[in-house]
Amino acid sequence: MSLPPGTHVIHDAIALPAPHDTVRARAVHRAEYPVVQADSVEEAVKHLRTVISDQRIALVTDGTVAALHGRELRHELHRQGVEATMTSIAPGEESKTMRTAERLLDWLADSRIRRRDLLVAFGGGVVIDTAGWVASVYMRGMPYVNLPTTLLAAVDAALGGKVAVDHPQAKNLIGAFHQPTAVVAATPWLSTLPARHVRAGLAEAVKKGVIASPALFDLIERDLPKILALDPATLHRLVHASATVKCALIDRDPYEEDLRRPLNFGHTIGHAVETVTGYGPVLHGEAVAFGMACAARISLARGWMTGTAHTRLLSVLRQAGLPCRREELPAPTGTEAVLAALDKIRLIRDGHLRFVLPVDIGVTAITDDVTDDEIRRALTWSPSPHSTQADTATIPARRGGETTAAA
């Protein structure tokens, strides 16, 4: 048979195994994408253009970001020859729901967006998580790019492909791993961020410094006033360094198969605080900061964390205006309520509550033998002028702690 020229012909001859051999399916997918830090919107769009072919662009943002930065982005896209259809969701965690996702799916279908077109998530973690999840299910998965506009999204949520919406039963209950095609942050977008959100985002950067990068921690310690003043060059360095550390960590375990994750530092107690305060009054970053302070206190009391590292961590959190004591949290948080919330997590995880305890800057120990008494003491701690703490850390092998040192 003669086929028309240009027809793509595939010759195949798959061999058949013996009738009772087990058939094995395999699907290996490893993604690699650029994470870029631009200094202007023009530069950001230039980077975005490098990952766009002849696709149509569906841009999702929220009302606040649309009002502050939407017009400039659309203008710049247009100037560089990219036409986008745009929609926005209501700002805030309340929007991270199936309802919003369904509305976005309707909008994609009504706009006749095809599987190989590109969804662009332009906003904070809420927009990125929701739009990313929509991208993961629309036509069984379409490509998407993250343009993070909060510090938290730029240093954390935009990276790693964890996408989700909340369910009344739990936050992020309906989710997937769906890696973005690119992440393009632009420093000017951060210039309008309210101070409280800057601090909350900074908490996730501090976390990465403590668990895996003395260099990042030094940078934050040294440049803290400039970060809080939103100095563009300093923010550029902070986002670039934090993204480098997060990408290096997820590269080791992109689909979170290992339960011993240093990235969970501050999140065990942090999640419990968010749960008992009803997700909202305490920002995620604030809860994580308090969780890190508690974990550090537990570690110091065990003689695991060096006094110097403990002082450095607490001092950075304090200077950043992040809560280190229960009374400093923006909503009342009962000790027993936090312990009850932790108990629920313990039940889900077969009786184990895993804690990431800092040992030094760049060294963490992961353990599941932290007792309720230790947690209670950490939660109710208040500074005493007479407290003396050892400056050395010894990790007794019998406790079963595992240490991870930053490379």
Ligand X SMILES: NC(=O)c1ccc[n+]([C@@H]2O[C@H](COP(=O)([O-])OP(=O)(O)OC[C@H]3O[C@@H](n4cnc5c(N)ncnc54)[C@H](O)[C@@H]3O)[C@@H](O)[C@H]2O)c1
Extract the tokens encoding 360.
């030094």
Does 150 bind ligand X (CB under 6 A)? Our answer is: yes
Bin 170: left if φ > 0, else alpha if -120 < ψ < 50, else beta: beta
Q: Which is nearer to ligand X, 36 or 200 (CB)?
A: 200
Q: Which is nearer to ligand X, 68 or 339 (CB)?
A: 68
DSSP 146-206: EEE-SHHIIIIITSS-EEEEEETTEEEEEEEE---SEEEEEHHHHTT--HHHHHHHHHHHH
Q: Which residue is nearest to ligand X (CB)?
A: 125
Does 162 bind ligand X (CB under 6 A)? Our answer is: yes
For residue 369, the minimal CB distance to ligand X (Å) is 27
Identify any residues that bridge with 175 across adjacent strands, giving them in sequence order: 164
When binding is defined by CB under 6 A, the residue of 199, 208, 271, 284 that contacts ligand X is 284
Q: Which is nearer to ligand X, 292 or 359 (CB)?
A: 292
Does 165 bind ligand X (CB under 6 A)? Our answer is: no
CA angle 36, 291, 383 (to 5 degrees): 125
Tally of CB atoms within 10 A around 289:
32
271 is catalytic: yes
Which position among 146, 199, 204, 326 bears the catalytic label? Answer: 204
For residue 154, the minimal CB distance to ligand X (Å) is 9
Bin 351: left if φ > 0, else alpha if -120 < ψ < 50, else beta: left
Rounded Cα–Cα distance for residues 181 and 22 (Å): 35
Which position among 47, 69, 96, 162 bears the catalytic label? Answer: 162
Q: With CB under 6 A as the rule, give the number of residues binding ligand X.
A: 30
Q: What are phi and psi of 94, to 5 degrees?
A: -60, -20
Which position among 69, 146, 208, 264 bears the catalytic label? Answer: 264
Q: Which is nearer to ligand X, 162 or 261 (CB)?
A: 162
Residue 353 three-state SS:
coil
Q: Which is nearer to ligand X, 96 or 326 (CB)?
A: 96
Q: Which residues contact 279 (CB under 8 A, 6 or more apart)?
A: 93, 166, 171
Interface mask (CB under 6 A) for ligand X, residues 66-95, using x and -?
--x----------------------xxx--
* Contact residues: ligand X, CB under 6 A: 62, 64-65, 68, 91-93, 96, 123-127, 129, 149-150, 152-153, 156-157, 160, 162, 172, 189-190, 192-193, 197, 200, 284
Tell me the catalytic residues.
140, 162, 204, 246, 256, 260, 264, 267, 271, 284
